[in-house]
Structure 1
Amino acid sequence: MKLVRYGHPGKEKPGLIDESGNIRDLSGVIDDFTAGQLSDTALARIAAMNHASLPLVSGNPRLGVPVAHVGKYIAIGINYIEHAKEANMRLPKEPIVFMKAVTCLCGATDNIILPKDSKKSDWEIELGVIIGRKAQYITEEEALDHVAGYCVANDLSEREFQIERGTQWDKGKGCDTFGPVGPWLVTRDEVPDPQNLDMYLDVNGVRMQTGNTRTMIFSVAKIVSYLSHFMTLLPGDIIATGTPPGVGMGREPQLFLKPGDNVRAGIAGLSEQNQDVIAWSRTQEVPAPP
């Protein structure tokens, strides 16, 4: 299934994408896609319904983050060999873990707002993993059973904040709108092999990143298991699993986002994001955290 939350920021309703690509409203069935609606049992109940009988959503509504009340947004750095090379970093022996503020989360077509005083805002297409079941000290063999589904994620990063203003990556990773997720959650039964997904990202129609999740240094199963030994993963937590090569920081000359740019990012089977880049202003409305 492809599960969505549609509507104005802070007022999203739950829905799903039917076989014809239309949005069907689920608000008469569940209140929202919160932690309790991400278990295998809850998802199986929705899957068993007659989707054609659900109310059809008209028009082309905004799609927000596909899960509500996200507790943690965890990210993995330097998880593709060629990206490590372009970043001039050694291959990690264990996953590099950092956090993105949940206030950075936004929908797949919301504007990317460059933070105040930004000089080096960059892009990173990533496979997003959404946890569906509490995970503590689990094995790699168990790990994927704890995943509700997958999504497109863009780990936007302000490189000057991240690298040149101390050693704390979080400062460059958690800016408002720097965590577009979606447009929808694709349940894990529709992604039999998360280690064989093509990925791409374009800026202004020019291909910047091309990759495949098979070139990850640490697999999704490894990441989920590894994280569960350092923190409890809860339903609704999101994990961004690293980016392939082609980021702006790694280009010669370096290239960074500016107001007026357009970013398209997609993953095979998980759909595509399409966002315009705008400058920060005091009057600019920022999407409410999901």
Structure 2
Amino acid sequence: MKLALFDDHRLGVVSADDATLVDVTDALPWPHDADPVTAGWWRALCRDFPTVAPRLREAAATGTPRPVAAVILRAPVLGPSKVVAAASNYGDHVAEMHGVQQRTLGRVESWMMEFDVFLKAPSSIVGPGAEVVLPPDVVAAGHEVHHESELVVVIGAGGRDIPVESAMDAVLGFTAGLDITVRSAADRSRRKSYDTFSPLGPWLVTADEIGDGSDLDIRLTSGGQVRQSVNTRDLITPVPQIVAYASTIMTLLPGDVLFTGAPPGVGPIAAGEKLEMTISRIGSMAVTVR
């Protein structure tokens, strides 16, 4: 099932051809709250999706479709307790980062070449069609700001110390995301947590349609030029292992967001650019840079 948040943070089910959606908000067993700060219904949906899904499917089958182009798509998450991100998770990206760090830092930080997880601020999340805003202080300092197009996991039931074998039971689904990154000597979380630095979209596809996310094509273009192109089969640490590992450090709560790592081809972005990202079996989104 493809779940979209749109307009006043209403819930829609998107058609197989991505052209239309049906508003299924009224089929939810909880009152709808349009305020993303207090929208506990979304986290409850993430937690209880298996029991709520039949109601949503029925509502989608009997409701009136609306063109996707006629609504405003929002980020397909609401009020996550945290955004977790995986570092150094594609071999070719690890290799290219030696040159990137030498150019931007004047040295290579060997510890940053090892797989691990870190946190981004949830306030950095924006939806498809949004603007990525280059921070004035970063621009003034001459730091590069890079694009990183990634497969993103949305946690469902979640948990603590989740076994790898049952990790996908803790996952609601997947979306596409850009992990916008300042290249500087600052801490990872600081460099990646500016407002607008986590575009997500265009919607969430539930894990029953995607599996464990291990064979998806990721592509990022700007002005018709391919910047990144990779398949998730090249992940060093696959999705179930990322989920299991992260859960040994912190309890994963319903609705949490997990970036799975940057593919090779990262590079600077500049004001005026339009970044277009596609993940097979999920969909496409675009953001502009200001």
Place the TM-score, normalised by the shorter chain, in its bin: 0.7 to 0.9
In 2, distance between residues paired with 1:116 and 1:54? Answer: 46
After TM superposition, give the deviation of residue 17 of structure 1 in Å: 0.5
In 2, distance between residues paired with 1:179 and 1:140? Answer: 27
After TM superposition, give the deviation of residue 94 of structure 1 in Å: 6.4
Deviations 1:181-200 (A, max 9, x none): 11101000110241111111
1:73 aligns with 2:93: no
Alignment of 1:173-192 (within 5 A): 173-192=192-211
Runs of 4 or more, structure 1, over 6 Å off, are: 91-94
Alignment of 1:21-170 (within 5 A): 21-30=19-28, 31=32, 34-38=42-46, 39-57=48-66, 60-88=70-98, 95-119=115-139, 120-159=144-183, 163-164=184-185, 166=186, 168-170=187-189
Unaligned runs of 5+ in 1: 249-255, 279-290
In 2, distance between residues paired with 1:138 and 1:73? Answer: 18
Q: Tell me the secondary structure at the aligned position of residue 95 of structure 2.
A: helix
Unaligned runs of 5+ in 2: 34-40, 99-108
In 1, distance between residues paired with 2:263 and 2:93? Answer: 5
In 2, distance between residues paired with 1:112 and 1:224? Answer: 28
After TM superposition, give the deviation of residue 18 of structure 1 in Å: 2.3
In 1, distance between residues paired with 2:52 and 2:146? Answer: 35
Aligned length: 263
Deviations 1:187-242 (A, max 9, x none): 00110241111111112221010101111110100000001111000110000000
CA RMSD of aligned residues (A): 1.9
After TM superposition, give the deviation of residue 259 of structure 1 in Å: 1.2
Residue identity matched to 1:244: P
**CA contact 1:18–1:52 (8 Å) conserved in 2:** no
Q: In structure 2, what is the equivalent of residue 282 of structure 1?
A: none
After TM superposition, give the deviation of residue 266 of structure 1 in Å: 1.2
| Structure 1 residue corresponding to 2:264, chosen from 245, 261, 265 | 245
In 2, distance between residues paired with 1:96 and 1:216? Answer: 13
In 2, distance between residues paired with 1:5 and 1:47? Answer: 14
